[in-house]
Structure formats: C-alpha cells, structure tokens
Amino acid sequence: MPRIAGIDIPEKKKIGISLRYVFGIGPKIALEILREVGIDPERRTNDLKEQEIAMITAVIDAKIIVEGALRRQVQQDIQRLKDIKSYRGDRHRKSLPAHGQRTRSNSRTRKGKKKTVAGKKGVKG
C-alpha cells in the first residue's frame, strides 16, 4: 500500500479519490495537487511510480497542513473559543451544536444517548 503524508492510501482506487483519505485533503485540493504534479486523476494508485508518489508527497508537505498538525490546529481553535468564553466556545463546552442547528428534536450525535427526565404530572381540577 502506498504511503502519502504518512497515511496508507488505497491501491485499487483512482489517485484523485485515494488522496482524499488523507485528513485535510478534499476533492478540490486533490485535483489541484495532481494538476501541479502533472498526473492524470484517472490513473490508479498502484500504477504510480515511486518517483510520482514522492512528488505528490513533496507538494503536500510544502503547501498543505494535513493529519496531525491539522487536527492539532482545529483543537487549538476550539480551545481558543472556550478560553475567550465566546458563544461558540460555550456550545462546544456543553457538547451542543455550535452552528445554529435545532436541538429540540435532533442533535443526538452531539448530546449523546437520551436521558429521561421525569415529566410533569397532570393537574386535576
């Protein structure tokens, strides 16, 4: 399996798709990298020579923040929001959606498993 930016990427897929397995590289950036290196995005990853893989890796290392450094940067950005006590930082601290989504009927991913709260008893009269 070829390694690009320290990540094993799939061999049998097209290189334009395989590059997306690296955290921080999406469809547009993958195509830009391949255009700069001069490789057809339709070629399969296992058809690439070692020299071509080295060229791709060199471009990624020189121009794009990926993997561990990018994850660290995202965590630092979230921590900064928490430290300055911004609204988004408070939402992150409480494990709630930070971008205005509704929470009454959704957001189970952020809030976790349902916690049952005792309901109000009916009032007679």
Name which of 92, 65, 63 is nearest 77 in CA terms: 92
pLDDT for position 3: 80
- Alpha-carbon span 25 to 29, nearest angstrom: 6
Three-class secondary structure assignment of 15-63: HHHHHHHCCCCCHHHHHHHHHHHCCCCCCEHHHCCHHHHHHHHHHHHHH
Please, what is the average pLDDT of the chain?
A: 90
Domain architecture of the chain: domains with CATH? 3-63 (1.10.8.50), 72-111 (4.10.910.10)
Tens digit of each residue's pLDDT (9 = 90 or more) over 99-111: 999 988 888 888 8
Stated as kind and residue range, the H or E segment containing 3 is strand 3-4
% pLDDT > 90, the chain? 66
Tens digit of each residue's pLDDT (9 = 90 or more) over 1-35: 778 777 788 889 999 999 999 999 999 999 999 99
